[in-house]
Amino acid sequence: MLQKLQNLFALYKIIKARGNMKLIRHSRKQLTGFIFCKNDLNRKPFFQAMLYWFNMLKGLDVLVWRLETFGFLYGPNLNDEEKKKLNQYL
């Protein structure tokens, strides 16, 4: 339980440092659908979705990888020019 809370705070720091805020602001509805598992790929009821994310906090690296894959986090070694190129179609 303590490890999951530590991972939650670490995730907050990672989002604060590497978060793609332009994409997050632009696709807020998609992000909430992703978090609450309301999309067609991973549909779950609210409480089951919260348990799903709580269990995902066991492995912070997998959660960070998923957020990077969907573009909500930048990769760890991108410069400003590459970040602008990723968001040029928003």
Over the stretch 22-55, which tens digit does the pLDDT of each residue have?
888 888 888 888 888 887 777 899 999 888 888 8
pLDDT at 10: 93
Contact assessment for residue 64 and residue 58, using Cβ atoms and an 8 Å cutoff: no
- Summarised one tens digit per residue, pLDDT across range 10-23 is 999 999 999 999 88
Burial group, residue 20, by CB count within 10 angstroms (0-12, 13-18, 19+) = buried
Q: Of 19, 25, 21, which Cα lies nearest the Cα of 74?
A: 19
Q: Distance from CA of residue 40 to its chain's centroid?
A: 18
Model confidence band, residue 87 (pLDDT cutoffs 50, 70, 90):
confident
Q: The pTM is what?
A: 0.77
Tell me the range of 5-9, 33-37, 41-45, 81-85 where mean pLDDT is highest: 5-9
For residues 46 and 81, give the distance between their C-alpha atoms in angstroms, rounded to a whole number: 39
Q: How far apart are CA 14 and CA 75, in angstroms?
A: 11
Is residue 81 scored above 90 in pLDDT?
no
The CA-atom distances, in angstroms, between 69 and each of 2, 46, 47 are 27, 23, 25
Give the model's pLDDT for residue 12: 93
